[in-house]
Amino acid sequence: MPEKLKTNHVDHICIAVKDVKEAEKDYTQAFGWEVAYRYVDAPEKIRVTGFMVGPTAIEVMEDLDGTGEVAKFIQRSGEGVMLISYNVDNCEESLEKLKKNNVKLIDQKPRYFAEHKRNFAFIHPKATHGILTEIIDGKYQV
């Protein structure tokens, strides 16, 4: 029997968009949400706007130069949900549990998101029926 992975809540959902400014305007208009944060992650080639919905962030993200994973996703699937992230107490321990459960992983060790002081790791979409899945520890520094 697989070991249960303890998750606290859905940490964030990433929506791949062609134009983050347009998406930001649309989400603000539709829901009346205020922007909680914006950032550019050059190594990942993304520009992100985040909205907080309770403890969960809804992130709209665009590719910076047309060559990153967001651009590839949009080319393959169109705009839409690209990633679901689950908050865990300890990313490294959770990753070890996933390994014991024989889950196909992208990351064998956690990555560190210095800007937000959080550890995260990706689960391969083949393990979760086509959705890129992430585990992440810590809280947003908003």
> What's the pLDDT tens digit per position in 48-97?
999 999 999 999 999 999 999 999 999 999 999 999 999 999 999 999 99
Domain ranges of the chain: 9-136
What pLDDT was estimated at residue 139?
85
Return d(Cα 49, Cα 39) in angstroms, integer: 7
Could you write out the DSSP letters of every residue in 102-132?
Answer: T--BS-SS-EEETTTTEEEEEEPGGGGTT-E
Q: Are 98 and 76 in contact (CB under 8 A)?
A: no
Both tokens assigned to 133: 């899945």
> What's the pLDDT tens digit per position in 97-127?
999 999 999 999 999 987 778 999 999 999 9
Both tokens assigned to 99: 């390994």
User: Is residue 43 very low, low, confident or very high in pLDDT (cuts 50, 70, 90)?
Assistant: confident
CATH assignment of 9-136, among 3.40.50.2300, 3.40.50.300, 3.90.1330.10, 3.10.180.10: 3.10.180.10
